[in-house]
Copies of this chain bind each other. A is one copy, B any other.
Amino acid sequence: MLRQHHILLSGGSDSTTLVAWVQHHHPGDEVSAVTFLYGQKHAVELEAARAVAAHYGVRHREVELPRIEGSALTDVDSPLPEDGTSRKEGEVAPTYVPARNLLFIASLASLADAVGPGTLWLGVHQDDRTGYPDCSPGFVEAAGEAVRQGTEYGLDVQAPFVTWPKSEILRWGCEHQAPYHLTHSCYKGLRPACGVCDTCRTRREAFAAVGVEDPVPYADGV
């Protein structure tokens, strides 16, 4: 049976690069992408995910999960941090979403295991380790082991960027024509992007480190 590739595609720059990565390393294989809705304020990222999947010609599924509580990304009453100081070593960020990555991995495993042998791909990276317990190499390894042991087809979990800084991801993506103009990152769900929320800041810093202009417009016009 053909081994299939299942990608967690948020519509942001990391998971978009991941689609390019999987197609680059597994040419001709069957690749599909899944975007999960979980009550995020920036559900506009779904449109970006659709555009990215269409760009690469991969099958795209959208799955609505129950709303995840307890995060500034989902709670209307919790403001999104804007001052760039929300992620501190040893502390969990207000934008951490409780057990989100495990829930994504489990949901993707469920879809994939109903089909046949396959690999699940996850775009977590080193810069997300501070503030997000579910982006660490230890977590990815344990979750991978749980998926391998707990599924009919012994599914595999891969997170090739887990030890890369975000700038390295963007550098690789730029070298491989990743369509960053189609992506969405802003946690506020704004287009043009706000430029000051945590993910806008991280993204802009990474593009600056690469020395490439971010093709996505920002509200401050910089």
A151 at the interface (CB under 8 A from B): yes
Partner pick for A70 among B100, B115, B133, B146, CB 8 A cutoff: B115
Partner pick for A110 among B100, B110, B113, CB 8 A cutoff: B100
A99 at the interface (CB under 8 A from B): yes
* Residues in A80-132 with C-beta less than 8 Å from chain B: 92, 96, 98-103, 105-107, 109-115
Which B residues lie within 8 Å of A150 (CB)? 99, 101-102, 133-134, 136, 139, 142-143
The distance from the CB of A77 to the nearest CB of chain B, in whole angstroms, is: 14
What are 25 inter-chain pairs, A to B, with CB distance below 8 A? Answer: A68-B110, A68-B114, A69-B111, A71-B114, A96-B152, A98-B111, A99-B106, A99-B113, A99-B150, A102-B106, A102-B110, A102-B146, A102-B150, A102-B151, A103-B103, A103-B107, A106-B106, A133-B149, A134-B149, A138-B149, A139-B146, A142-B145, A142-B149, A143-B146, A145-B145
Q: Which residues of A contact B (CB under 8 A)?
A: 63-66, 68-71, 92, 96, 98-103, 105-107, 109-115, 133-134, 136, 138-139, 142-143, 145-152, 154
